[in-house]
Structure 1
Amino acid sequence: MPVHEIPEVLDRREGPYGEVVLRRHGELLQIIANGCFLMDTSDGRSERLLVDAALAALPAGRPAPHVLIGGLGVGFSLAHAAAGPRWGRITVVEREPAVIDWHRDGPLAGLTREALADPRTEIVEADLVAYVNETSDTYDALCLDIDNGPDWTVTEGNEGLYGPSGLAGCARLLRPGGVLAVWSAQPSPVFEETLRNAGFQQVRTEEIPVARGVPDVVHLGVRAG
């Protein structure tokens, strides 16, 4: 294997939920959690769709909507939200201090420097599942990308967010007519049905084709007005 194809570990930390690693593989930066690949900087189309689809599903004319982005990751969703003028406040909930550090003054800073400097942006260091259950804040849109999706969770405990109680918590955070958008590494008809059973309306799935395998998707649902 040529030297340039060997992944280089840039940082390895023991975080509150296990080991997190940032590594460089050629031109890509990759985040690994407890030995499981989570994401890299190769594309970002589906993360941008997550933000755009949520915005498009909001009622026309809603001024300066407040979006919560669940998971900072490599920063595609945050950077895309901050690049547009329509969002009002942009709150990002990220539970790994290492990931936040990598964006503030580490190898990922180049991807989100302008977004983090945007006065609309707020970073909250917290576990999203706990945050959903505890916060008194409300939002116009929730854009959630904290794992590989409803059917393939890497972190124990995240699956609760995709069940009836977790979706009830998401609905509580949304203002009437607010949008829930959930990124997934594969389509999930079961999750679509769970969204409907939880009272969400206009439930649908938007797909992003990938080079190999099943498409990435964004599941969408609207809280009743």
Structure 2
Amino acid sequence: MTATDARLPVVLDRREGPFGEVVLRERGDHFEIIANGCFLMDTSDGRSERLLVDAALAALPAGRPDPSVLIGGLGVGFSLVRAATEPRWGRIEVVEREQAVVDWHLAGPLGRISGPALADPRTGILRADLVAHLRTTTERYDALCLDIDNGPDWTVTQDNESLYSPAGLAACRARLTPGGVLAVWSARPSADFEAALRNAGFHAVRTEEVAVARGVPDVVHLALRDH
């Protein structure tokens, strides 16, 4: 097999779920998740997914003991793994709506990445739609780290658009403890989303960038709930 052949994707699993098709592919040494034909993420880098968690922790008020974090979207596991390697986090909850993605971690090849993090006693996996969970749960978290799309301006499914609406951002704010932080991953910066965060009552709104090899940088949008 040539080097070029080695980079051709191989489909490992393909599922039809309530939100459409999800596919796990292997390309050389890396895995890729495709949702409804749209490239969602892969295991080639992960810097911005780790930044999602690191920046949220750094933004929390100093001295908060055992802060809880809700990670929206299990994906390839980078954000979860980063949270589990940080002893300062208390409860780590991950919401994932696709049973296939959960299966790929619990009993599939993505377990190579997330296995130790999933075994961490602080970690819990909730199989649910993130938008519905935020609107119905009574739980509150010190940090929300959300990565369910390619960004607020580039959603994977139409249903996800409501997360970035005024009602969706109000639900996020309601699920945060006073002084809690909302961190949202995006494949590109969005000035409109920054404005939406401010309009939703968040403060200290800012964007951290991660340079990529080509094109616009990946970013993490950060905002704090008032005390």
Out of 94, 105, 113, the residue aligned to residue 103 of structure 1 is 105
1:130 match:
132
User: How far apart, CA to CA, are the structure 1 residues paired with 2:7 and 2:57?
Assistant: 38
% identity of equivalent residues: 72
In the other structure, the counterpart of 2:17 is 15
Matches of residues 23-172 of structure 1 in structure 2 within 5 Å?
Answer: 23-172=25-174
TM superposition outliers: structure 1 runs of 4+ over 4 Å: none
CA displacement 1:35-76 (0-9 Å, x = unmatched): 111000010000010000000000000000000000000000
2:222 equivalent among 209, 220, 223: 220
Cα root mean square deviation, aligned: 0.8
Matched residues in 2 for 1:219 and 1:3: separation? 38
TM-score (ref. length: structure 1): 0.99
> 1:4-50: CA deviations, max 9, x gaps?
12210000111121111000011110000111110000100000100
Q: TM-score, normalised by structure 2?
A: 0.98
In the alignment, the residues of structure 1 paired with residue 155 and residue 37 of structure 2 have an alpha-carbon distance, to the nearest angstrom, of 14
Question: How far apart in 1 are the matches of 2:48 and 2:188?
Answer: 11
Aligned partner of residue 157 in structure 1, secondary structure: helix
Question: Secondary structure of 1:132's match?
Answer: helix
Q: In structure 2, what is the Cα distance between the partners aligned to 1:217 and 1:113?
A: 27
Cα distance between partner residues in 2 of 1:56 and 1:84:
12
CA–CA separation in structure 1 for the residues paired with 2:78 and 2:158:
24
Structure 1: give runs of 5+ residues left out of the alignment.
none
Report the counterpart of residue 177 of structure 2 in structure 1.
Answer: 175
Alpha-carbon distance in structure 2 between the residues aligned to 1:81 and 1:23: 25
1:96 & 1:65 partners in 2: Cα distance? 26
Q: Unmatched 5+ residue regions in structure 2?
A: none
